[in-house]
Amino acid sequence: MLMRPFLYVLSFLAVIAAGFWAYRENYATQEALKEVGRLNTEIATLREGLALQRAEWAYLNRPDRLRELVVLNFDKLGLLPLAPEQLGDAKVVAYPRVAPPVLDGTVDTSETGGRPPAPTDGDFP
Amino acid sequence: MIRTPLRPLARILTARAKGENPEAIERENLRLRHEVMRDRARTMAEGRLVFLALAFFMVFGVIGARMGLMAATVPEEPKSASPGAEILAQRADITDRNGRILATNMLTHALYVQTNDLVDPPRVARELARVFPELKEEDLLRRFTDGRSFLWVRKVLSPEQMQQVHEIGDPGLLFGPREMRLYPNGRLAAHVLGGSSFGAEGVSSAEVIGTAGIEKQMDARLRDPGQAGRPLSLSLDLTVQATVEEILGAGMTMMNAKGAAAVLMDVHTGEILALSSLPDFDPNNRPNGPVSGDPSDSPLFNRAVQGVYELGSTFKIFAASQALELGLVTVDTIIDAKTPLISGRFHIKEFRNHNYGMIPLWDVIAKSSNVGTARVALLIGGLRQQAFLKSMGFFEPTSVEIVEAAGAKPLVQKKWGDITTITTSYGHGLAASPMHLAAAYATIANGGVKVAPTLIHSDRHESGPRVLSEKVAKQAVWMLRKVVTEGTASYAEVPGYDVAGKTGTADKPRRDGKGYYKDKVVNTFASIFPADNPKYVLIVTLDEPVDTSGPEPRRTAGYTTVPIAAEIIRRTAPLLGLKPAVEPPAQDRITAVVSTRSGVAATGGN
């Protein structure tokens, strides 16, 4: 029967430990709740600021103002409204006319020592 | 269970032998048995009582504990409850289809006065009148001193004004936070957005309510806290809307018109990309409605949705399409368009007394012949014509989501005689809004399916009932294209885009109801582009235009609305992502196009 006092001491210590843990948790929770409250306030303030910035962005980008700015800065930027003439098709982009190579039957073999040159990727078969 | 016998034979015999009464044994046994039964019943009853008592104790214990908890705790907001998406509940924003802001909120302050706290009312009145020029010093002083303890001075303040009021430094001047509705684009899409104002006002906040347009129609959606984080996405495109308004405004000035309206609609979904009515207003500072005179003279009047006009010859295509649908004619059927057509006491004539003679159906549309259309309409008959126009939506207000739309019911003749059939076929005697016309033309353009015009951007749209067969719709668009290439709308040719459309010129009915004005017209051009694969419908309407660039004033749609519509299409089609059909540039000595070059390469290879 040596176990019994030992168990009493152990359970007493466990109660003290649990109490200590509960005490700390309680204060940690309260702290966290305060933090949540503070963060919510901050989020609300930031959202409000964000909404204001968005409103300002929209206000500064209103078509009337942009149109005025385009007119004021025409000499620097030369912006014009989008017109159908500015759009095209890749097919109608003009290429410089390449004259076909003149094939007269002679092959330059001076650099290969008399043998016919090895074919390269660019050659026609 | 073993039942003890009441008269056990062994004991009875023993008792008899001793000369005792065996009945005593039976009674004794009976008594014992009854005692056992009584004890069992008592235990059961006691158990029930304990159980009930426990149950009552628990219920009352829970209630008592809850009450005690409620009474003992400090009242405060449950902070640990997860905060919703919206911490800052605001009226939802309104954006265009690409998410650009059309309406949003801004935090400002309202100014109010607690007169009991005012230190020096005359000085405050003087200083406030200096900060706010629209306030009068005498009025303020009178309101400060007539005995009331609380009064509003301004509903919203700018930060500068707020600072100036702070600098007056009187403790009776107080500020209340206000959420203000802001339309950053000013007049842009004013008629769609409508406007808003404050509803119930308190010191710490005020509710914002929509007063017109989509703000009023969708008020519940915009105020719903659950959806406050999601902006309401309109089908409008900010850039296209701005372009349309710019060109329409310039065109209205050039054509000396009293008003103008334009509707640009996607033919497949019914989404409205631009809706403009001029003159317009600033929704940030919405003017009051007119109390006298013609409501259509007010800038608040939305001509595109509220304005019901006789839309003139733009209606002719409906008679022609219906006749094609019924198989009464083909596009090449020769129609008798000789003037005059006599119906009862009415003589139907052409514009400027033309006489087109015998012409094919497509030319009736291209030349805009009243008589030809009337003959086609008589072929169809009044009942079928009514049913068809009804299926096109000309008898009901449109479903556009602005509050004014429901009030714009088309004006339809009650008695539908032959003369009504005739006049309606060329757009007189039935007044509808440009929005109705846009929806009807969209039906023709998309291959014959009815669409409901809408201002809300959505990925899903249910398709309406089929009104015209695909073949007839194609033929109708082809005829409308003829109007541009060979008929009355020649100014509608836009390089790169094939435009199909129909002009309409209608005399304005006199306000006193006695016939029509001679020199006041409503010009309309209903167009579809691109004609080979229709995607958009554009309706342009001018109110009382006159083109004075020529030697004599011209009032037909071909000279007034058509050039404006053409310019709108030229400018907006690239913005809408439509690829122009470009002609290859002429070849010269130093350039060649790809096809030629590959030919050269092939030759070089051989």
- Residue A94's pLDDT band (cuts 50, 70, 90): confident
pLDDT given at position B180:
86
Question: B77 by DSSP, 3-state: which?
Answer: coil
- From A93's Cα to the closest Cα of chain B, the distance in A is 7
Q: Is the pLDDT of residue A119 over 70?
A: no
Q: Is residue A52 part of a domain?
A: yes
Tell me: the pLDDT tens digits for B108-143?
889 999 988 888 888 989 989 998 888 888 888 888
Q: What's the residue count for chain A?
A: 125
CATH code for the domain defined by B94-233:
3.90.1310.10
- Residue A123's pLDDT band (cuts 50, 70, 90): very low
Whether B259 contacts B120, CB under 8 Å: no
Q: Please state the domain count of chain A.
A: 1
List, as own/partner pairs, every contact residues B339-345 make where C-beta atoms lie below 8 angstroms and the sequence separation is at least 24, other chains included. Answer: B339/B371, B340/B371, B341/B371, B341/B374, B341/B375, B341/B422, B343/B374, B343/B418, B343/B419, B343/B422, B344/B418, B344/B419
Helix-, strand-, coil-residue percentages of chain B, each rounded to 5: 40, 20, 35
Rounded Cα distance between B401 and B410, Å, is 17
Q: Is residue A118 part of a domain?
A: no
- Residue A75's pLDDT band (cuts 50, 70, 90): very high
Close Cβ partners of A59 (under 8 Å, ≥ 6 residues apart): A65, B182, B184
Q: Which tokens in the block code for residue A11?
A: 């359970």
Q: What ipTM is given for this predicted complex? A: 0.71
Assign domain B291-535 to its CATH superfamily.
DD-peptidase/beta-lactamase superfamily (3.40.710.10)
Residue A54 belongs to domain spanning: 7-76
Q: Is residue A97 part of a domain?
A: no
pLDDT given at position B597:
42
Burial B184-203 (b: 16+ CB within 10 A, else e): bbbbbbbbbbbbbebeeeee
pLDDT given at position B602:
35
**Per-block mean pLDDT, blocks of 10 residues, chain B (606 long):** 79 88 88 93 96 97 94 71 54 90 89 89 89 88 87 87 90 88 90 89 84 90 82 92 94 91 93 92 86 80 88 90 91 83 78 82 88 90 90 89 87 84 87 92 92 90 87 92 88 88 86 78 91 92 87 84 92 89 63 46 34
User: Quick one: closest CA in B to A90, which residue?
Assistant: B594
pLDDT given at position A109:
66
Taking all residues of chain A, what is their mean pLDDT, rounded to a whole number?
82
Tell me: the pLDDT tens digits for B214-241?
999 999 888 887 787 788 999 999 999 9
* First and final C-alpha spacing in chain A: 105
Q: Is residue A92 part of a domain?
A: no
Q: Is the pLDDT of residue A51 over 80?
A: yes
Q: With a CB-CB cutoff of 8 Å, which residues 370-409 of chain B face chain A?
A: none
> Inter-chain contact B570–A101, Cβ cutoff 8 Å?
no
Q: Is residue A85 part of a domain?
A: no
- From A10's Cα to the closest Cα of chain B, the distance in A is 33
Chain A residues whose CB is inside 8 A of the B591 CB are 94-97
Chain A residues whose CB is inside 8 A of the B582 CB are 87-89, 92
Domain boundaries, chain B: 1-42, 94-233, 291-535
* First and final C-alpha spacing in chain B: 119
Q: Is residue A98 part of a domain?
A: no
Closest in B184, B497, B579 to A55, CB measured: B184
